[in-house]
Amino acid sequence: MKKLFWSFSLLATLLTGCGKQNDMIKVGEFASLTGKEATFGQSSHEGTSLAIEEINTAGGVLGKKLELLTEDTQSKAGEPATVVNKLISRDGVVAVLGEVASSRSLEAAPICQQNKIPMISPSSTNPKVTESGDYIFRVCFIDPFQGTVMANFATKTLKAKKIAVFTDAKSDYSKGLAKFFKDQFTANGGTITAELDYNGGDKDFKAQLTAIKATSPDGVFVPGYYTDVAIICIQAKQLGLNVPFFGGDGWESEKLVEIGKEAVEGTYFSTHYHSDVGSAKSKSFVANYKKRFNGKTPDALSACAYDSAFVLADAIKRAGSTEGLKVRDALAATKGLEAVTGTITINEKRDPVKAAVILKVENGKYKYLETVNP
Ligand code: PHE
């Protein structure tokens, strides 16, 4: 009997890969590593990877190492659901980190919620993301704040009275941010001269830009993603629409200046972080990131993703468990966590309240202008 028991347990051990799986805590990540918004996923993945490596070097969590399993959403609708289902059902991850684009986070959130697997978006700012359910968190500010920040910037700094808004009709992020911007800008006494739409991935924006030009705005607010924004700025210049263009965090990519060149000079956008400013925590992050990624300077996406992994590790430690409900409860109780992008306290809506930074494109670089506190 005893002998039989031992051979069974030996067999069981062999079948589960010598117990190796039990020594690792699996964390899923879904990101746009390829496609239209590839730099979002690539920057995020670097931030997440660095955090996981540092956590493991420091001994891991609950005596175990974290194993990061990354899936590519290809910047496409439809992929988030497929890959997050895979991460949960096939791989058995204990939590999911991602996505950047709000529409893609919104697609995956109900799946995490249904499976009671906590999801943390590093940088999706549309309010609806965390409204998807009580297992869905984020570590960045939300767009009612970001829209207000840029509306006040338009009124106070640009001294603009009339603004045109050009929105990506396919993006929840763009539609939300456009609305929050308009609400505050009109509350400031400003006028919206034109509201026009495009579809992310379009190549010709001239018809809408011509219509915008006809309304003689003082500036144009484009709450879009960098690939479209760069082309929009180029075509605006070609049409002689020489007023300031400005937008939100979706502009942040080294590709914006690579594609847009002089057409994006003198534009402005708000985002979550700039490597020139910040705490001691931020400075050591920049140094470690540069060491790890061949001298590359981290952007806001890397910083937010890095923070998302630390927020998760901190919650698993406090939960003393990787069980979904316990990790969820610990995430909801996150308080005063010193992170790279600021201090993170998760509120009752599962969002933190954090500052924004405003950057100006100057000589092909992103120059820090100011920090706006909530
Ligand atoms: N906030 C954007 C969204 O919700 C994503 C984004 C974050 C893009 C940070 C760039 C930088 O879709």
277 DSSP β-pair partners? none
The answer to whether the CB of 300 is under 6 A from ligand 1 is yes
One of 3.40.50.920, 3.40.50.2300, 3.30.360.10, 3.30.2350.10 is the CATH number of 2-141+278-354, namely: 3.40.50.2300
For 250-262, write each residue's pLDDT tens digit. 999 999 999 999 9
The answer to whether the CB of 252 is under 6 A from ligand 1 is yes
Please report, for the chain, the start and end positions of each structural domain, with discontinuous segments joined by +.
2-141+278-354, 144-271
Are both 2-141+278-354 and 144-271 of the same fold? yes
Q: Which helix (H) or strand (E) holds 136?
A: strand 136-138
Per-residue pLDDT, averaged over 89-96, amounts to: 98
Ligand 1 atom nearest to 121, measured from its CA:
4
Q: What is the pLDDT of residue 13?
A: 47
Q: How far apart are CA 371 and CA 374, in angstroms?
A: 10
One of 3.40.50.2300, 3.30.1330.30, 3.40.50.280, 3.10.105.10 is the CATH number of 144-271, namely: 3.40.50.2300
The answer to whether the CB of 44 is under 6 A from ligand 1 is no
In this prediction, what percent of the chain has a pLDDT beyond 70?
Answer: 94
Residue 99 has φ and ψ, to the nearest 5°, of -95, -175
| Residue closest by Cα to atom 10 of ligand 1 | 250
| Ligand 1 center to 45 CA (angstroms) | 14
pTM: 0.94
For 352-362, write each residue's pLDDT tens digit. 999 999 999 99
For residues 190 and 161, is the Cβ–Cβ distance under 8 A? yes
The answer to whether the CB of 40 is under 6 A from ligand 1 is yes
Q: What is the pLDDT of residue 194?
A: 98
How many other C-beta atoms lie within 10 A of the C-beta of residue 283?
A: 14
Q: Ligand 1 test: best mutation among 42, 48, 124, 228, most atoms within 8 Å of CB?
A: 124
Q: Ligand 1 test: best mutation among 46, 107, 123, 181, most atoms within 8 Å of CB?
A: 123
For 324-334, write each residue's pLDDT tens digit. 999 999 999 99
| Ligand 1 center to 2 CA (angstroms) | 59
